[in-house]
Structure 1
Amino acid sequence: MSVSRPHTTASSLQRAVHAAEKHQIALYLVAIAAAVAFGLAAPEGAGASLEHAIEPVLAALLFATFLQVPFLDMAASFRDVRFLGAVLGLNFLAGPLVVWGLIQFLGDDQAVLVGVLLVLLTPCIDYVIVFSGLAGGAEDRLVAAAPLLMLLQLVLLPVYLYLFVGSDLADIVEPGPFLHAFIVLIAIPLGLAALTQALSRRFAAAKAVEALMAALMVPLMMGTLFAVVGSQVSDITNRFGDVAGTIPVYVAWFVIMAAVGVGLGRVTSLDRPRSIALVFSGATRNSLVVLPLALALPDAYSLAAVVVVTQTLVELVAMVIFVRVVPVLVRSRRDREPAATALGRQHLGEKGGHDDTGS
């Protein structure tokens, strides 16, 4: 009996992991609902304490995500000029144009405007990889694109702020939070994941780490959602009247960018996994990175941080929907092929087969 117990324990763990993966979307919604309840019921100051958990749990989630990426095949991702070009064009050309159109519907509050610009002009580099992977997107391509996306948004954000608002606000953007986020959320987890993969070929301990982190993917995502939502929801409710007008703008952003991303994927003839990754990259924003920027603004712009957090909450719900909807919107090239073309190819194939046999 004692001999079979480890096997039974392992089997139970495997069943639990499989069940969590099967019902992960429902579990994420539960995590969000629990976070909202906690944020509203917890005593004052509890949300701020929970906020300190966001960075470590997100770093752990990205470490687990990067472990799923085959680093030996990463060279092909860096050479994928078509995908990288589409991602950059979607995020830094099409995206700002959409932002310019959407901000026309905002009021005259400069703090609200700044918050919206900060978050919508900066493409996501962290949990977009997780959600895209859940939808069947090419995670390795997004990992390869992350450093370039981070660098370009750091350089271009002041330019966009200058164009949209003026020089005074463009000067307040500091590179520190961006560099910190890049090191803590991208460079360190990515380096550790690559090292773990290399060691797993020779050491059982590294292999065990890979298996453990794979099993923890769903709990880590739930923890990230809980920390983000639970730490910020009270600020939103306290100032909801001031930021309510941004919600339709954010919803419109996701709808428009999904359509633009799907269209660009078709125009550039990307395959299905890369097209899904492209749509997610164009829609998700770098709210967790720009939040420190918003918090560091002068008191006159204190509302900007609440505006950024509002986008985070809208985005989390949108991502859960995207995981289900985007794979349906992004069809394979064969699925998009007109029926007449398909019949024509079939006819040619039959004709070719007849000629071959006849000869």
Structure 2
Amino acid sequence: MDRLSLERRQVWIYLAAILGGLALGSLWPALVQGFEILLWPVLAVLLYTTFVQVPLLHIRDAFRDKRFVLAILLGNFVLIPLGVWLALQWLPDDPALRLGVLLVLLVPCTDWFMTFTQLGGGNTARAIAVTPLNLLAQLLLLPVYLSVFLPAADFGAALKTEEMLSAALALIGLPLVAAALTERWIESKPARAIWRERLGVWPVPLLALVVFLIAAEQVETVLEAGPVLLTVLPVFIGFLVVAALLARGLAGVLQLPVDTGRTLAFSLGTRNSFLVLPFALALPAGWETTVVVIVFQSLVELFGMVFYLWWLPRRLFKSPLGANA
């Protein structure tokens, strides 16, 4: 199965992986005890193969369309964080739940954002160009957001640990550096471009394996978190609606073309769940709900993207009369 076929079916692939993990963890709990050790290298390879698809060495290309860059930065790093903070006020006073919501909603996506942009008639070139800018900005700003939005006691207890720092270094920094070196190696000879295409097939099955391992290992937490997930479900659905409407407003104010407006909507609507998983997995005991909330949001988001593929080109960002969608 090629990359495009995998990406079109990824919603059902991830859902099957989660259900399979829950079944395995429920029926054979002793079998999944070592899954945590396996999870870390799989996640590291997932991050590497995903980062290879991001043009890390071409961040300057993002600034060619200044209005689009302004919309991306204003939407993803000012308006979305304000909206997330407002939504947080309606959630139960559960630090693990709130941290999960913050981690997963504050950082824009850098992988399937480009896929859905292409499928939804957006401007794929703009999506590719702005992705390294999104990645750099979120890595710099996420600690700032968490320190502002979380109470000092919760922030210190959950995040300022040696485990968190080592996880960030090993599972984000090293794959990021390796991907940048790979990109330089690929671009040194045109014939090597095939390697980016080959690596591009792996993020979907690797992410499916990651959520399978998490579901199997955290089956008790997942089952106990049922009421919690129902609590955050309206927040995640509301986020998708507000993000698209926000993109429509920004596109109108900044007079963005229709295809660029769609790209903006997919950027604001998709979140970087795989990037924040290392932080969540490194949390101390008692914070397992954070991981479950992040995985749950990614599943809700994928179903939301299926809706976006219908809603954006046919209703919110309709092509001008006579133009192709």
Q: CA deviation at 1:90?
A: 1.0
Q: Counterpart of 2:103?
A: 118
1:139 to 128, 147, 160: 128
1:51 to 39, 45, 48: 39
Q: Counterpart of 1:210?
A: 193
Deviation track 1:292-350 (CA, whole Å, cap 9, x = no partner) reads 3333434343322322222232223333443454344563774599xxxxxxxxxxxxx
Structure 2: how far apart are the matches of 1:314 and 1:327? 20
Structure 2: how far apart are the matches of 1:152 and 1:335? 41
2:143 to 154, 158, 165: 154
Q: Counterpart of 2:261?
A: 275
- The answer as to whether partners of 1:132 and 1:280 remain within 8 angstroms in 2 is yes
Query: Higher mean Cα deviation, 179-188 or 274-283?
Result: 179-188
SS in 2 for 1:270: coil
Q: Counterpart of 1:223?
A: 205
- The answer as to whether partners of 1:59 and 1:189 remain within 8 angstroms in 2 is yes
Deviation track 1:210-241 (CA, whole Å, cap 9, x = no partner) reads 23542563x42431341233123343235323
Establish whether residue 192 from structure 1 lines up as the match of residue 177 from structure 2.
Answer: no
Establish whether residue 309 from structure 1 lines up as the match of residue 295 from structure 2.
Answer: yes
Establish whether residue 109 from structure 1 lines up as the match of residue 107 from structure 2.
Answer: no
Q: CA deviation at 1:260?
A: 0.8
- The answer as to whether partners of 2:248 and 2:317 remain within 8 angstroms in 1 is no
Output the aligned Cα RMSD.
3.3
- The answer as to whether partners of 2:47 and 2:171 remain within 8 angstroms in 1 is no
Poorly superposed stretches of 4+, deviation over 6 Å: none
Tell me, which stretches of 5 or more residues in structure 2 are unaligned? Answer: none
1:331 to 313, 317, 322: 317
Structure 2: how far apart are the matches of 1:70 and 1:97? 28
Structure 2: how far apart are the matches of 1:90 and 1:328? 22
Tell me, which stretches of 5 or more residues in structure 1 are unaligned? Answer: 1-15, 201-206, 338-359
Once the two structures are superposed, the pairs formed by residues 72-91 of structure 1 within 5 Å of their partners are 75-91=60-76
- The answer as to whether partners of 1:229 and 1:313 remain within 8 angstroms in 2 is no
Structure 1: how far apart are the matches of 2:322 and 2:280? 43
Aligned-residue sequence identity (percent) comes to 28
Q: CA deviation at 1:93?
A: 1.9
Structure 2: how far apart are the matches of 1:256 and 1:189? 33
1:60 to 49, 55, 58: 49
Q: 1:320 to 1:222 in 2, by over 3 A?
A: farther
Greater RCO, CA 8 A, separation 6+ = 2
Structure 2: how far apart are the matches of 1:316 and 1:82? 28
Deviation track 1:121-142 (CA, whole Å, cap 9, x = no partner) reads 2333444344434444322222
Q: How many residues align?
A: 303
Q: Counterpart of 2:214?
A: 232
Structure 1: how far apart are the matches of 2:258 and 2:287? 42
SS in 1 for 2:109: coil
Q: 1:85 to 1:125 in 2, by over 3 A?
A: same
Q: 1:269 to 1:238 in 2, by over 3 A?
A: same
TM-score, normalization by structure 1? 0.71
Q: CA deviation at 1:106?
A: 1.8
Is the radius of gyration larger for structure 1 or structure 2?
1
Structure 1: how far apart are the matches of 2:56 and 2:91? 44
Query: Higher mean Cα deviation, 244-253 or 34-43?
Result: 34-43
Q: 1:89 to 1:216 in 2, by over 3 A?
A: same
- The answer as to whether partners of 2:273 and 2:298 remain within 8 angstroms in 1 is yes
Q: Which amino acid aligns with 2:197?
A: A
- The answer as to whether partners of 2:109 and 2:270 remain within 8 angstroms in 1 is yes
Establish whether residue 297 from structure 1 lines up as the match of residue 286 from structure 2.
Answer: no
